[in-house]
Structure 1
Amino acid sequence: MKRFPLTAAFWTMCGTAAAEGSPQAAIELYVDSATRQIYAEPGPGRQRLGRFVQAVDAPAPAAAPVPAERAVAAAAPASSSKHWYDRIGIRGYVQMRYNQEIGGEAKELKSPGDRYIGREQGFGIRRARVVISGDVTDRMSIYIQPDLASTPSGSSTGNFAQLRDAYADLWLDPEKTWRIRAGQSKIPFGWEDLQSSQNRLALDRADALNSAVRDERDLGVFLYWSPKEAKERFAYLQKSGLKGSGDYGMFGVGVYNGQGANRPDRNDRLHTVVHFSYPFKFANGQYLEVGADAYAGRYKVSTASATIDGRTFTPTVNASDAGSTDRRIAAHVVYYPQPFGFQAEWTVGEGPQLDVARRTIRTRSLRGGYAQLMYRFEGVNGVFIPYAKWQTYRGAAKFDTNAPKMSVDELEAGVEWQPSNAVELAVAFANMRRTDVSAAPYRRIDGKLLRVQLQVNY
């Protein structure tokens, strides 16, 4: 299949040819609405541009080939005469889910990644996001994202509005390689946690990484550096359909409250995080991204009365008023699906955890991670991506009351179908063995589920 890079010279040629109405052999051109690539054949998500012929003007000097990621990432600079509100865009997505118990104690299962698991209900809205973003000035960008389908803790009623992201990027140089991000945003720890749920293949994030930062977000200030080559690759991997995590810098460092999104700091002790990730590109066009992250701080656990093994007690906290030690390191590797793909992450560390025997909160070790295989192929009916994901975790659920120990072993296999850029349908089978950390006595439950998710993008 023949592709043409989207360059200014190409558009000039097309405009000239169309205006002259040359009788020479014409070619039908189509543009992919997501990647903005130009194609000579129709296909899913491609819009017809029209018929064009080559201009008869004197040929311009030959230009060097443009890498694919530059063709995707490049955009015409905003005119300085535009008002700030002319530079703001709105987009979003909605996810509807359905879980069907098919074995074991599935009706008793509880998962922090999907509040509809283990509940007597039919369809549910998992996410309803609206993103407002854009360049307010040449040196400042904004990003605001509410979720209209949140459920407050302890509530049986869903679909409340809650803030997810609200931050500004302050660019420190004209090339936009250095920036300061200030506000509530994703904490750069773990690759899958940074990947948008709109792009993620598996239905939920792995517990081992996701248990580090509540809702993946917190309030803080971060410094990111993305050199030009890495910046172009991050943009290409996200916009090309390869499900990248976005640009959180080749290198990043920052400080944040540490108690989680939409929650105030409780100990006046900030968490510190360091992030590194680099996308390599091989000669055959294959991408491989590797990186590592680390964070450290002190976390204050919420405690309450619990009854375990016939004893009722309220755990004590054997730590200072500053909270318990909370620190982890993690590493990731992502071999992007072109067409075969592989993705894995692992984390180790220590944090606060309930010690039932001593009836106290202690600092204990933790470990866990996941591995995922996927295969991406494009057919006449759209893009299909079958996948299989295994995950494990042994460590505390520090965000839950009393920070009970969480034991997770899970296998999920499914397929995602994208008939167009606006619609995605995922069907998966999950064999779950996990601890119910929502209430004492914190039982370990086994169950099997059939899971379905419909996502619409706008």
Structure 2
Amino acid sequence: MRIFKQALALSLVLSAGVVSDVMALELYVDTNTKQIFAEPGPGRVLLGTFVKSEDVPAKTETPKVRSAPSQTSAESPSKTESAELTPSRKDQTTEVADKAANENLADKVSVLEERVKEAEKVHMEFDDRGLHFKTKDGNFSFAVNGRIQPAAQYNFINDPNPAFGHSTPNELNSGANIRRARLGVEGTFFKIWDYKFEFDFSRGNGTVASGITDAFVRLNHTDALSYKIGSFKEPFSLEEAASNRFLTFIERHMAVNSFVDNPNTYKTGIGVNYAVPRWQTGIAFQTEPVGGWSSASTSVNANGNQSRNNGSGDTGWTAIGRITGRPWMEDETKFLHVGISAGHTDVNTQYRADGTMVGEGSGGGGGGMSFTAFPGTNVDRTNILNTGNLSNGALTDPNRRQISSFDRYGAESWLVYGPFSAQAEFLRTNINGVGYDNEHLTGYYGFVSYFLTGESKAYHVRNGAANRIKPKKPFNWNGSGFGAWEVAAGYDYIDMNSGVIRGGRASMFRFGLNWYPHSNVKFQNNIVYLLDIDTSGAPTTDTQGYSGGAGARTRGWDNGDFAAFLSQITVDF
């Protein structure tokens, strides 16, 4: 009925006089500009089918006038008065007609606005953040995101010590794989709440036991202050705070991997974050990761945090925080970032009734904690440094060791000056427990990078870390743009030899060449070259917390030589 009225109103506006030629006309409305068009197009909604009438002159005949007898002078004033009133009545008639036309036009516009409002209730767009749906009132939004990172590794120097006995070869393998394959959803509800869920189908070195990464709900108290609960990253370390999509090198540096990422930085808990352009702080209280024990989750029992039983023991927990700021800042392309991190982690070790440790001598499952490191490779990430489980030996063993907790500290700095940037971090992990006396593990790295095409590193305010690079001139086959090109070089060092802990020590150089053809696509090429490896203190047998030949493999890399060429493509949305 509304469409019929609308068509009738528009026909009245478009037509006048007698219809001589009638034509059906489909009209479309642009939902953004509210303009009406006669052809379909992007963002246009069909308004309806209308009839357009063309005016033609009406055929008239000259009226025949009959002579009338002359009127008396008494009748003349009356006729004169009547003649004078005639124009006034015509004006009134015209005014009424105009008013009716305006009312019809107003009704038509009102109906049109209602149609536009209906069309705008849900808005969809695709940008560098992914595919987004949002209601007009802003109460609800929904987005689909994901990433895939095909990777390749070629080892052109691969010279550890020969394996012996039943041990597998110590050499690392060349090859290709899918480093990450993640798919997730995120959005908002009632404006102040947002959520995120993400699953990594390649997480856990070939298993999906620890595939859940982010799975949280967040309450945004203000634009700066927010609270969240669920599974999310620990607030620790500049490089860890940055998404792997935005890293300068393909893999994080050894100390960050060993002390933060390898033990699974995604843990279940509650957190508070406050972030403004010049400074940011985040604190969290978290327990263990989601999922069963795997190489990506070294500190939990075999049943996993999702299937605890009376033999699992209490969950470990972490209290952790990070404070960062930009004390010097000219603009978003020239600033100095500094920050510190600290955290305390309580570790669970489970023992049987006879005092023996659950899971000792196997690939995990009895709690405790181990720290490992691999040489920055992205396909074969076999650990060449390994502390072994820092809980080992039965309760009755006078030489037993049991890690009860560890404390982590970090200091970070990052200078961005136009296309140039320099970044560095120092991390330290103190080991506490039976059989330990001030043992600590340390590591640091530093690197510089430069954009040959003039771009600058981007800053993520909420995370206090690197953000997406947007090329000034995205790549185009016609030669109008070549994307962004970046070169980088850095030094990486880690030392896990301290007191009774003999996990090894290593240092290496990294070189990188990155190409960003578009903001959602990145090609990375790295060369890693190990300078020095000292693993002389690792045992050659499965003792002192080592299992599965891990000690012999670590020992096999003592004074070894290694260099590799790495490549990786990141496509995300």
Instruction: Calculate the aligned-residue CA RMSD, in Å.
Output: 4.0
- Does the residue aligned with 2:408 lie in a helix, a strand or coil? strand
Q: Residue 360 of structure 2 corresponds to which residue in structure 1?
A: 304
- Cα distance change on mapping 1:305 and 1:196 into 2, 3 Å: same
Q: Residue 456 of structure 1 corresponds to which residue in structure 2?
A: 571
Q: Residue 334 of structure 2 corresponds to which residue in structure 1?
A: 286
Q: Deviations over 1:207-232 (max 9, x none)?
A: 212323323221111111123x44xx
- Does the residue aligned with 1:150 lie in a helix, a strand or coil? coil
- Cα distance change on mapping 1:321 and 1:440 into 2, 3 Å: closer
Deviation at 1:429, TM superposition (A): 0.9
- Does the residue aligned with 1:211 lie in a helix, a strand or coil? helix
1:325 and 1:363 in contact (8 A); partners too: no
The alignment status of 1:331 with 2:411, answered yes or no, reads: yes
Quote the Cα distance in structure 1 between the aligned partners of 2:562 and 2:521: 29
Q: Residue 192 of structure 1 corresponds to which residue in structure 2?
A: 239
Structure 2 residue identity aligned to 1:89: A
Q: Residue 217 of structure 1 corresponds to which residue in structure 2?
A: 266
Quote the Cα distance in structure 2 between the aligned partners of 1:181 and 1:363: 35
- Does the residue aligned with 2:212 lie in a helix, a strand or coil? strand
Q: Residue 382 of structure 1 corresponds to which residue in structure 2?
A: 483
Any unmatched runs of 5+ in structure 1? 1-14, 20-71, 110-116, 231-248, 307-313, 355-359
Deviation at 1:200, TM superposition (A): 0.7
Quote the Cα distance in structure 1 between the aligned partners of 2:525 and 2:174: 18
1:104 and 1:448 in contact (8 A); partners too: yes
- Cα distance change on mapping 1:138 and 1:422 into 2, 3 Å: closer
Quote the Cα distance in structure 2 between the aligned partners of 1:165 and 1:139: 19
1:315 paired residue among 389, 392, 396:
392
- Cα distance change on mapping 1:119 and 1:136 into 2, 3 Å: farther
Q: Residue 50 of structure 1 corresponds to which residue in structure 2?
A: none
2:413 and 2:425 in contact (8 A); partners too: yes
The alignment status of 1:368 with 2:451, answered yes or no, reads: no
The alignment status of 1:392 with 2:493, answered yes or no, reads: yes
2:155 and 2:173 in contact (8 A); partners too: no
Structure 2 residue identity aligned to 1:162: G
Quote the Cα distance in structure 1 between the aligned partners of 2:491 and 2:258: 17
- Does the residue aligned with 1:198 lie in a helix, a strand or coil? helix
Quote the Cα distance in structure 2 between the aligned partners of 1:191 and 1:148: 25
* Bigger shift: residues 381-390 or 119-128: 119-128
Residues 20-419 of structure 1 aligned to structure 2 (within 5 Å) = 81=137, 84=140, 87-105=141-159, 119-120=172-173, 122-151=175-204, 157=206, 162-172=211-221, 175-213=222-260, 214-227=263-276, 229-230=277-278, 250-257=280-287, 259-260=288-289, 262=291, 264=305, 266-268=313-315, 270-280=317-327, 282-283=329-330, 285-300=333-348, 304-305=360-361, 315-316=392-393, 323-336=403-416, 338-351=418-431, 364-378=439-453, 380-395=481-496, 405-419=503-517
Quote the Cα distance in structure 1 between the aligned partners of 2:238 and 2:402: 29
- Does the residue aligned with 2:249 lie in a helix, a strand or coil? coil
- Does the residue aligned with 2:484 lie in a helix, a strand or coil? strand
- Does the residue aligned with 1:202 lie in a helix, a strand or coil? coil
Deviation at 1:96, TM superposition (A): 1.0
Q: Deviations over 1:267-301 (max 9, x none)?
A: 45532112101235533640221111100132246
Larger strand percent: 1
Structure 1 residue identity aligned to 2:508: E
Structure 1 residue identity aligned to 2:159: E
Q: Residue 25 of structure 2 corresponds to which residue in structure 1?
A: none
Q: Deviations over 1:185-238 (max 9, x none)?
A: 0000101011111111111112212323323221111111123x44xxxxxxxx
Deviation at 1:317, TM superposition (A): 7.2
Quote the Cα distance in structure 2 between the aligned partners of 1:104 and 1:394: 22
1:185 and 1:218 in contact (8 A); partners too: yes
- Cα distance change on mapping 1:161 and 1:350 into 2, 3 Å: closer
Structure 2 residue identity aligned to 1:163: I
- Cα distance change on mapping 1:280 and 1:365 into 2, 3 Å: same
Number of positions where the alignment pairs a residue of Structure 1 with one of Structure 2: 339
- Does the residue aligned with 1:315 lie in a helix, a strand or coil? coil
Q: Residue 372 of structure 2 corresponds to which residue in structure 1?
A: none
Q: Residue 110 of structure 2 corresponds to which residue in structure 1?
A: none
- Cα distance change on mapping 1:384 and 1:446 into 2, 3 Å: same
Any unmatched runs of 5+ in structure 2? 1-31, 36-127, 164-169, 292-299, 306-311, 350-357, 363-390, 454-472, 474-480, 539-545
Compare CA radii of gyration and give the structure with the larger one. 2
- Cα distance change on mapping 1:95 and 1:199 into 2, 3 Å: same
1:268 and 1:322 in contact (8 A); partners too: no
1:267 and 1:322 in contact (8 A); partners too: no
- Cα distance change on mapping 1:138 and 1:82 into 2, 3 Å: closer
Quote the Cα distance in structure 2 between the aligned partners of 1:107 and 1:134: 52
Structure 1 residue identity aligned to 2:494: Y
Aligned-pair identity (%): 16
1:180 and 1:223 in contact (8 A); partners too: yes
